[in-house]
Amino acid sequence: MSAIVDKKVVVTGGAGFLGSFLCERLEEAGAGELFVPRIEDYDLTEPEAVKQMYRDAEPDTVIHLAAQVGGIGANRENPGRYFYANMAMGLHLIEEARKHNLGKFVQIGTVCAYPKFAPVPFREDDLWNGYPEETNAPYGIAKKALLVMLQAYRQQYNLNGIYLLPVNLYGPRDNFDLESSHVIPALIRKFVTARDEQAPQVTAWGTGSASREFLYVEDAARAIVMATESYNGEQPVNIGTSREITIRDLVELIASLTGYEGEVLWDTSKPDGQPRRKLDTTRAGQLFDFEAEVDLEDGLRKTIDWWESHD
């Protein structure tokens, strides 16, 4: 039986970056009714608000995307808030799912949950083989605890909860606020501004040696819909491209695509974060036939075009 077709589906974080694309995909897949709880109406860190949300929405399926999250700087400034908010939201949502005999709960995890020195590519079986990278460990551990909760609730209460681990996302509608954005939108904004103002230099964080894997947002939305429809297991599943790029090469690529011709300075007093990040995506292919379609250069072009039309 479908977890989407003609079903009432709650998407927490559905008004956000990934959520907006996911809601479009769910409608295309035949969702009966979509309910997106807004923070002004439902503070999901509060148990009473979560109870009210379940009463109001009467969902068959919950896809939990909502998170308090940011880049390295924001994580360093808000470790306590990021741990509490992410832990509390998932805790209350999963407990109420049990009480309401929910048909399916889909938890979106984070690649930040992986150990700092996990063997590359990251395999789901390595999730517990070390401590996460320190700058985002509170966030990563809070999200990883929800995997344990879902597995325990499956075992004791037969709650059908699945756990997906998307790699770093990017694309149109992303957060381009320099104070809280992730690396790709921050770089696009910096280089477009520097190009338009004919600035001679742009400063990038770190040494450029760290590597990252990036997944285009529409690919991520498609993967979540595929998993919601056809995956019902307890094992966490990576969602990504299984291709990595160094930050230095990424910076040069974005500079080129935005037409910036000045100099790039590297502020090596700033942290690089996790040394490498690349996922093994075998499990997603085997369990629900997902494979990323948009390559990085094409995705970056689409993202730059969107920012330039909305700047």
Which residues, 6 or more positions from 296, have their beta carbon under 8 angstroms from its beta carbon?
214, 241, 243, 245, 253
The enclosing domain of 108 has a CATH number of 3.40.50.720
* 118 lies in some domain: yes
Domain extent, residue 137, equals 8-172+213-243+276-294
Residue 178's pLDDT band, with cuts at 50, 70 and 90, is: confident
Q: Are 51 and 96 in contact (CB under 8 A)?
A: yes
Query: Tell me, what's the pLDDT at 136?
Result: 87
Total structural domains in the chain? 1
Q: Are 129 and 115 in contact (CB under 8 A)?
A: yes
* Mean pLDDT of the chain, nearest integer: 95
Residue 209's pLDDT band, with cuts at 50, 70 and 90, is: very high
* 256 lies in some domain: no
Task: Report the predicted TM-score, pTM, of the whole model to 2 decimal places.
Answer: 0.94
Query: Tell me, what's the pLDDT at 107?
Result: 98
* 109 lies in some domain: yes
Q: Just list the catalytic residues.
A: 139
